[in-house]
Chains A and B, each alone.
Chain A
Amino acid sequence: MKLVLLSQQTAFSLTPTESTLYLVLLDQQAREGQVKVDLHFTTSEVACQLLFIGRLAAGSDWQLETNMYHQVPKTSCMTDVYLSQADRSKVDYFGQIYIDRQATHTKSFLQEQSLVIGRSTSNRSRPILEIFNNKVKASHSASSSRLNESDVFYLMSRGLLRAEAEKLLEQAFFDRILAEKVKDKTARQLISDYLC
C-alpha cells in the first residue's frame, strides 16, 4: 500500500487510483485548524486507509471532516481518527461514508476515538452513513471518554506524578493504535516521531 502524508493542515479532494494509506498528523502546536479530506473512489479494487492522529494542544480549536464517496463496485476504505484532548481543547468532527447505488461489494468503516486528558474540553462528533445498495459492509463508531481515573491512581501510587501518569496513559492509547492499525513501517516511524 502506498503511503501519502497529508502534511498541510488544509482541504484535500483526492481520487485514489491505487491502494493508499493517507496519513494526517495534526499540528500539536496549532491553536486552531481545519482539515478536510474527501476521497472519491472511482476505480474498482482500490483499498484505502485514512488515518488522523492528533494531540490537540490546550485551548486549541479544530474542525475535522472526512468524506468517503464510493461510486464504483469493489472499493474499500478504513477511516480512523484518534485524538487526545488537552485542557479546553475543542474538536468538531464530521465523517461521512456515502455508498452509491452501483457501488456494490463496498466495504467502508469509520472509527473515531477521543481520549480526554484535560479539563473543560468540548467534542462534537457526527459520523454519517448514507447507503444505497445492499451488497455492502459499512459501519461507524465514535467514542469519547476520559482517562480512567483508577489507572491514573494506580500509576501515581507507584510514584509517578499525575502529569507523568497521564502522559504514559496517552502514550498507551496511541501505542495500541500503532499496533492494531498501522502496518506500514514508514508510517509507524512517522507517527512515533510525532508522538515523541
Chain B
Amino acid sequence: MAKATIKQLNDAYASKFGFAMPEKSVVSFDFGLSSEIIAAISDHKQEPEWMRTFRQRSLQTFVKMPLPKWGPSLAEIDFEQIRYYIKDTEVEQRSWDEVPTEIKQTFDRLGVPQAEREFLAGVKAQYNSEVAYSSLQKELDEQGVIFCSMEEALQKHADLFQEYFGKLVPASDNKFAALNSAAWSGGSFVYIPKNTHVKRPLQSYFRINAARMGQFERTLIIADEGSSAHYVEGCTAPVYSEYSLHAAVVEVFVKRNARFRYTTIQNWSGNIYNLVTKRAQVLADGVMEWVDGNLGAKTTMKYPSCYLAEEGAYGEMLSVAYAKNQQIQDTGAKMIHLAPNTASKIVAKSVSVAGGQSNYRGLVHVTKAATNSKSKVECDALILDGQSGTSTYPDMRILGENAIVEHEASVSEIEEDKLFYLMSRGLDKTEAMTLLVAGFIEPIVKELPLEYAVELNRLIELEMEGSVG
C-alpha cells in the first residue's frame, strides 16, 4: 500500500481513537532479529537453559520457514525493521497507583471505564512487551487460580509451565509461531484448578506503543478437570506510519468436563499486521468457546482452532470481522474432530466497507476415529458498497462414520426496504446503516461481557462515520 494511503488511514484512526504516548522504555534492543538478540532477551529475563535452547532452535526454524503461500500478501513485512523487545517498566506494578502516569493516560484515552479500572485489580495489562500491571485478586488466590505473567510463571511455576508450553503450538507450526517462540515476551499464564469456577472474567489489555515494534506475547491457559472460566483480551494500538507486527501465540488446554471461553476484541490501528496462532485442545466432555471481534489492523490472519481430542468434546467459534479502507480481515476457524461424539459450531459474520476485504477461511476435519460427530458452519457477509469484497474458503473433510457436517454461507447488501423504513422514521442514512450493521452482528455482540459489547458497538459507530452515504 502507498505511504500516503497509510498516512490517510492513520490520520483517520487518530482522529477517532488513535494516539501515541511518548516512548519511555527502560530496556530496548536494536532493530532486527539475531541469535545475539534472542540470547539477550533470555539474559534479561534470566531464563532457564531449556527456554534459551527453545528460543534459539525456534529462531533457526523461523529463518528456514518460508512465508505462507496462501492468503493475503505478507511480502511487505521487513523483519529487519522490527524491534523485538521493549520493556516499559522494570518491575511489575503491585498496585494501580504505582502504574506510570503515561500508561494510565493511555488507558484513559482507550475509554476504560472507572468500574473497569477498579476491576483492574485482576487485570494483566500488556503495555508494549511486558506486563505493566499485575495484582492478583484475593478471590483468585483463595481459589488457587494462577493468573500471572508468563515470565513470572516460568520462574515460579516452572514444572507446570514446562509441561504445557509449546505443546499445542510448536515452533515448527508456522513461520509466525516460530517467530513468537523465538522472541516471545509478555502475555498471561492462567491455571484453573480442578472443579474451580471463576465467576469474573479474567481480563487483559494489550497495547503496542512503539514504532516498528513487534509484539509477541504468549498466552498459556490450563483449565483443569471440571473447572470453568472466561478470559477476555482487548486490543487497541496508537498510530504510527511504519508497519508493525503482532504475532501472538495462544495455547488453551481444556481438560475433562472443563469449560473455557476466550474472548478477543481486536482493534489494532491500520498499520499493523496481526498474525495470530490460537489453538485449544479439548478433552472428554470439555467445552471450548472462542469469541473473536476483529476491527482494525492492516492485515489480520487468525484462525483459532479446537482439537477435539476425546469423546464428547465440543468446540465453538463466534467471530465478527469489520474491514474498511483496504484492510484485509482474513479470519476463520478450524475444528479438528479426533474422537467419537464430538461436536463443533462456527458462526462467522463480516462487514466490508470502503474498499475493505473480509475473508472467511476455515476447516472442519472429521477424522476416521471421530464417529457420530457433528459440525455446523454459518458464514454471513455484508457488503456495504461496490468497492469492497468478501470471500469464503471453507474446507470440509469428512472421514468418520455417521458424521453430520453442514456449511452455509451467504453474501448480501443492506436491504433497501429496511433502510427506507429506518430513514422514514427520521434517521439519516449513516445512522440507519449503523443500526442495521449493529443488528447484523448482534448475535456475536450479545455473547460479549457488557463493557466489551458497548465498546464494540461504539467502535462500529465510529468506523461507520463517513463510510457510507
Residues on A facing B (Cβ under 8 Å): 101, 104, 116, 119-120, 122-146
Q: How far is the CA of A69 from the CA of B306 in the complex (A)?
A: 34
Contact of A128 among B391, B404, B412 (CB under 8 A): B391
Q: Is the CB of B389 within 8 A of A131?
A: yes
CB contact between A131 and one of B390, B393, B398, B404 (< 8 Å): that residue: B390
Q: Does B394 contact A (CB under 8 A)?
A: yes
Closest to B378 in A: A141
Which stretch in B129-137, B226-234, B380-388 binds the other chain?
B380-388
CB proximity of A119 to chain B, nearest CB, Å: 6
Interface of B is mostly: strand
B406 interface hit (Cβ, 8 Å): yes
* Given A128-B391, A142-B407, A145-B404, A134-B398 contact (CB < 8 Å): no
CB distance from A135 to the nearest CB of B (A): 6
The 3 A-B residue pairs with the shortest CB-CB distance in the complex, in nearest-first order: A134-B383, A139-B410, A134-B413
New A-B contacts (7) at CB < 8 Å, excluding given A137-B411, A142-B394:
A125-B394, A125-B396, A126-B394, A128-B391, A134-B384, A142-B396, A143-B404
Q: Closest residue of chain A to B395, judged by CB?
A: A126
Residue of B385, B393, B396, B402 touching A124 (CB-CB under 8 A): B396
Is there contact, CB below 8 Å, between A122 and B398?
yes
Least distance between A49 CB and chain B CB atoms (Å): 19
Is the CB–CB distance between B407 and A129 below 8 Å? no
Contact across chains for A131 and B383 when beta carbons are under 8 A apart: yes
A139–B408 touching, CB < 8 Å: yes
- Asked if B401 and A141 sit within 8 Å, CB to CB, the answer is no
Given contacts A127-B394, A129-B390, contact A134 B385 (CB under 8 A): yes
Q: A142-B406, A145-B404 are in contact. Are A124 and B397 (CB under 8 A)?
A: yes
Inter-chain contact B389/A126, CB cutoff 8 Å: no
Q: Which of B144-179 contact A (CB under 8 A)?
A: none
Min C-beta distance of A69 to chain B, whole Å? 14
If A124-B395, A126-B395, A142-B396 touch, whether A134 touches B388 (CB-CB below 8 Å) is yes
Q: How many interface residues does B have (CB within 8 Å)?
A: 30
The distance from the CB of B275 to the nearest CB of chain A, in whole angstroms, is: 22
- Please give, as numbers and ranges, the residues of chain B lying within 8 Å of A119 by CB-CB distance: 401
B393 touches A134 (CB 8 A): no
- A129, A136, A144: which contacts B396 (Cβ < 8 A)? A144
A43 to B163, CA, bound (A): 62
**Are B403 and A146 in contact, with the CB atoms below 8 A?**
yes
Cross-chain contact B406 with A141 (CB below 8 angstroms): yes
Q: Which of B25-53 contact A (CB under 8 A)?
A: none
A-B contact count (CB 8 A): 102
Q: What chain B residues lie within 8 Å of A142 (beta carbons)?
A: 394, 396, 405-407
> Which of A123, A130, A144 is within 8 Å of B391, CB to CB?
A130
**With A134-B386, A144-B396: A125-B407 Cβ-Cβ less than 8 Å:** yes
The answer to whether B396 touches A128, judged by C-beta atoms less than 8 angstroms apart, is: no
With known contacts A128-B391, A129-B392, A139–B407 Cβ distance under 8 A: no
13 contacts between A and B (CB under 8 A): A124-B396, A125-B395, A126-B393, A127-B394, A127-B407, A128-B393, A128-B394, A129-B411, A136-B411, A139-B408, A141-B409, A143-B405, A143-B406
Do residues A122 and B399 form an inter-chain contact, with CB atoms below 8 A?
yes
Within 8 Å by CB of B403, from A120, A132, A135, A144, lies A144
Contact of B392 among A123, A125, A128, A137 (CB under 8 A): A128
B386: chain A residues at CB < 8 Å are 101, 104, 133-135
Chain A residues near B412 (CB-CB < 8 A):
136-137
Minimum distance in angstroms from B404 CB to a CB of chain A:
4
> Which residues of A lie under 8 Å from residue B404 when comparing CB positions?
143-146
How far is A136 from B352 in the complex, measured between Cα atoms in Å? Answer: 14
CA distance A128 to B399 in the complex (A): 21
> Would you call B409 and A127 a contact (CB within 8 A)?
yes
B410 contacts which chain A residues (CB < 8 A)?
Answer: 138-139
Taking the closest CB of chain B, its distance from the CB of A133, in whole angstroms, is 5
**Contact between B411 and A139 (Cβ–Cβ < 8 Å)?**
yes
- How far is it, in angstroms, between the C-alpha of A125 and the C-alpha of B392 when the chains are bound? 13
Q: Which residue of B lies closest to A109 (CB)?
A: B410
Q: B6 CB to closest chain A CB, in angstroms?
A: 23
Contact B392 A132 (CB under 8 A): no
In the complex formed, the residue of A with least CB distance to B402 is: A146
Contacting pair B411 A146 (CB below 8 A): no
Contact A131 B411 (CB under 8 A): yes
Question: How many whole Å from B87's CB to the nearest CB in chain A?
Answer: 44
Q: Is the CB of B389 within 8 A of A132?
A: yes
Chain A residues with CB under 8 Å of B401's CB are 119-120, 146
Q: Digitize B356-396: 1 where CB-to-A-CB distance is under 8 Å, 0 elsewhere.
A: 00000000000000000000000001011110111111111
Q: Is the CB of B393 within 8 A of A144?
A: no
User: A87 to chain B: closest CB distance in Å?
Assistant: 11
Tell me the complex Cα distance, A147–B312, Å: 22
B396 cross-chain contacts in A, Cβ below 8 A: 123-126, 142, 144
Give chain A nearest CB distance to B389 CB in angstroms. 4
CB distance from A79 to the nearest CB of B (A): 13
Determine the residue in chain B with the shortest Cβ distance to A111: B408
